[in-house]
Chains A and B, each alone.
Chain A
């Protein structure tokens, strides 16, 4: 498994290469610096991949998804083009789960214990999000995912399975 420094280097190299370097829609990436990669874990808690944000001010304008072997599986930008700053994600999102949605989740599950948020994913690694388990006397009663656009819950047994969501 590569370390954070190697993940950052892989992301930095990938943004300089074609086709990213020539893609006008990804122009924001070329001007951005590579931020601190965040380790994404599987729902079971195992390391899965690194998310390296491309930083512009206090926002992430895009991401590189770097596999644990150093391969850049995906590299791209948030939103529809370099001027779509409204779609960029606060850089702090990749450092800790946002406080607002966490408070809403606490309020939504009174009497349940919430796990520490873990940067993970829902069904597909492409759907990365902060994962929070709500546990009661019957065990895990709900799993909440916090994304940049808000949070939602998945009830146990409601996993996507053959469905695409």
Chain B
């Protein structure tokens, strides 16, 4: 079940996935010997989280308690939405010095006393200025005019609302969700999805172990599995199925170059086929400026656009990076990847991830129209190519134009 009260554009994270991320994070902290987490080794994660809301009313975080019997030894704070970025925000060490219930019990009479004509609608634990938590009272007067009152959950002092101005840090309450601009939201969702791949690629039985929330010690075997690993993404035609699921349809097919100097032409044919534009290689060649015995000029972007009646945007990039290539594949956009004297199509990427070493062993998945063959169904090759092994002269990125 997805957490409640979140707009769809936030990308609400299903509750079972949140639990898995929390379990993994707790175990990883123990395996990594994070200072202060020694007591977590024999602890277990309690199943019912404490819900923390944004001051705009939407669910923001879920705090999962780690306890040894009745003794609380820490908390794992999980994101409720993909738009927040990392699935887990914090490992909090030790018991908390505040209690939400106690704060409400103390504050509610005060609120009623100071607003005698207002009706108390509800209370929520809110993150009013990350990472500060507060109690938010929603109240209404007799004309149903709404107000919200926020108090620090530990100090019980009232907190005024206002945008963070850079001068008075934490002096105001502001909305975490509302502070995320459009491109920042996209970046954070991508970040979430990258990390989530490590969880999603775990064998099903390991995912079930995470769901059961046994002691943290029993989770560490699973944590080691995602301590380091290879993340792979291949082009798929839609986002409804992952590329490695049986029902996935990647719709990217290898075409050999039908002439010895048709590499760019065959590459363009493969990319356009993906977008459902079907041309023969001889039909494509003139649009790419092909000259017999030499091939095509490197910037073929105009040809990609004209052959699709300008329905595609094609961008010529002479300083391509692996990150750009990765982002293109994540957006489900195949592209031309050129090395000196040769063009191929790229339809995937892979990298090795480790907590300590970061990202390494960057690779791209190449549909190479070479070896050439007059019958395009016979030649060509598909391979993984080490990003750093060759000099990439240019890419031609494609995407469907938005109206």
Q: Give residues in A with beta carbon < 8 Å to B.
A: 17-20, 22-26, 62-63, 67, 71-80, 86-87, 89, 122-127, 129, 145, 147-150, 152, 154-155, 158, 160-165
Find out whether the CB atom of B380 lies under 8 angstroms from the CB atom of A127.
no
- Could you say which of A17, A79, A154, A163 has the most chain B C-beta atoms within 10 Å of its C-beta? A163
Within the complex, which residue of B262, B291, B380 is in contact with A78, where a contact is CB–CB below 8 Å?
A: B380
Find out whether the CB atom of A124 lies under 8 angstroms from the CB atom of B297.
no
When distances are taken between beta carbons in the complex, the residues of chain A under 8 Å from B365 are 19
Find out whether the CB atom of B389 lies under 8 angstroms from the CB atom of A165.
no
Q: Give residues in B with beta carbon < 8 Å to A.
A: 229-230, 232, 244, 253-254, 256, 259-264, 291, 293-298, 338-344, 350, 352, 363, 365-366, 368, 370-375, 377-386, 389-390
Closest CB of chain A to B381's CB: distance in Å? Answer: 5
Q: A63-B381, A87-B379 are in contact. Are A71 and B338 (CB under 8 A)?
A: no
Q: A73-B389, A77-B382, A123-B342 are in contact. Are A163 and B294 (CB under 8 A)?
A: yes
When distances are taken between beta carbons in the complex, the residues of chain B under 8 Å from A18 are 229-230, 232, 350, 352
Within the complex, which residue of B259, B373, B382 is in contact with A80, where a contact is CB–CB below 8 Å?
A: B382
Closest CB of chain A to B71's CB: distance in Å? Answer: 41
Q: A62-B381, A73-B386, A87-B378 are in contact. Are A161 and B260 (CB under 8 A)?
A: no
Find out whether the CB atom of A74 lies under 8 angstroms from the CB atom of B341.
no
Q: A74-B386, A77-B383, A152-B260 are in contact. List 5 more A-B contacts (CB 8 A).
A: A22-B232, A22-B244, A127-B263, A148-B371, A165-B260
Q: A150-B373, A152-B260 are in contact. Are A127 and B382 (CB under 8 A)?
A: no
When distances are taken between beta carbons in the complex, the residues of chain B under 8 Å from A155 are 293
Find out whether the CB atom of A149 lies under 8 angstroms from the CB atom of B256.
yes
Find out whether the CB atom of A164 lies under 8 angstroms from the CB atom of B372.
no
Q: A75-B383, A80-B380 are in contact. Are A19 and B232 (CB under 8 A)?
A: yes
Find out whether the CB atom of A165 lies under 8 angstroms from the CB atom of B382.
no
Q: List 6 A-B contacts (CB under 8 A).
A: A22-B230, A22-B232, A63-B383, A79-B380, A124-B341, A152-B260
When distances are taken between beta carbons in the complex, the residues of chain A under 8 Å from B262 are 165
Q: Which 4 A-B pairs have the closest CB atoms?
A: A76-B383, A165-B295, A165-B261, A123-B341
Find out whether the CB atom of B389 lies under 8 angstroms from the CB atom of A89.
no
Q: How far is the CA of A124 from the CA of B264 in the complex (A)?
A: 13
Find out whether the CB atom of B341 lies under 8 angstroms from the CB atom of A163.
yes
Q: A77-B383, A124-B342 are in contact. Are A163 and B232 (CB under 8 A)?
A: no
Within the complex, which residue of B232, B295, B297, B378 is in contact with A149, where a contact is CB–CB below 8 Å?
A: B378
Find out whether the CB atom of A126 lies under 8 angstroms from the CB atom of B339.
yes
Find out whether the CB atom of A127 lies under 8 angstroms from the CB atom of B341.
yes
Find out whether the CB atom of B382 lies under 8 angstroms from the CB atom of A148.
no
Within the complex, which residue of A77, A89, A147, A158 is in contact with B293, where a contact is CB–CB below 8 Å?
A: A158
Find out whether the CB atom of A126 lies under 8 angstroms from the CB atom of B378.
no
Within the complex, which residue of A20, A89, A165 is in contact with B371, where a contact is CB–CB below 8 Å?
A: A89
Q: How far is the CA of A17 from the CA of B372 in the complex (A)?
A: 28
Find out whether the CB atom of B342 lies under 8 angstroms from the CB atom of A80.
no
Find out whether the CB atom of A127 lies under 8 angstroms from the CB atom of B254.
no
Which chain A residue has the least Cβ–Cβ distance from B342? A124
Q: How far is the CA of A113 from the CA of B300 in the complex (A)?
A: 39
Closest CB of chain A to B368's CB: distance in Å? Answer: 6
Find out whether the CB atom of A67 lies under 8 angstroms from the CB atom of B380.
no
Which chain A residue has the least Cβ–Cβ distance from B261? A165
Within the complex, which residue of B254, B296, B375 is in contact with A165, where a contact is CB–CB below 8 Å?
A: B296
Closest CB of chain A to B127's CB: distance in Å? Answer: 38
Closest CB of chain A to B343's CB: distance in Å? Answer: 4
Find out whether the CB atom of A76 lies under 8 angstroms from the CB atom of B294.
no
Find out whether the CB atom of A154 lies under 8 angstroms from the CB atom of B381.
no
Find out whether the CB atom of A163 lies under 8 angstroms from the CB atom of B297.
yes
Within the complex, which residue of A67, A87, A89, A163 is in contact with B291, where a contact is CB–CB below 8 Å?
A: A163
When distances are taken between beta carbons in the complex, the residues of chain A under 8 Å from B341 are 122-124, 127, 160-161, 163-165
When distances are taken between beta carbons in the complex, the residues of chain A under 8 Å from B378 are 79, 86-87, 149
When distances are taken between beta carbons in the complex, the residues of chain A under 8 Å from B298 are 162-164
Which chain B residue has the least Cβ–Cβ distance from A22? B232
Find out whether the CB atom of A149 lies under 8 angstroms from the CB atom of B339.
no
Closest CB of chain A to B338's CB: distance in Å? Answer: 6
Q: How far is the CA of A25 from the CA of B254 in the complex (A)?
A: 11
Find out whether the CB atom of A78 lies under 8 angstroms from the CB atom of B264.
no
Within the complex, which residue of A19, A20, A24, A126 is in contact with B344, where a contact is CB–CB below 8 Å?
A: A126
Find out whether the CB atom of A163 lies under 8 angstroms from the CB atom of B389.
no
When distances are taken between beta carbons in the complex, the residues of chain B under 8 Å from A72 are 386
Within the complex, which residue of A23, A76, A124, A163 is in contact with B339, where a contact is CB–CB below 8 Å?
A: A124
Closest CB of chain A to B288's CB: distance in Å? Answer: 9
Within the complex, which residue of A26, A154, A164 is in contact with B343, where a contact is CB–CB below 8 Å?
A: A164
Which chain B residue has the least Cβ–Cβ distance from A154? B293
Find out whether the CB atom of B254 lies under 8 angstroms from the CB atom of A80.
yes
Q: How far is the CA of A26 from the CA of B31 in the complex (A)?
A: 35
Closest CB of chain A to B375's CB: distance in Å? Answer: 8
Q: How far is the CA of A75 from the CA of B385 in the complex (A)?
A: 7
When distances are taken between beta carbons in the complex, the residues of chain A under 8 Å from B384 are 19-20, 23, 26, 74-76
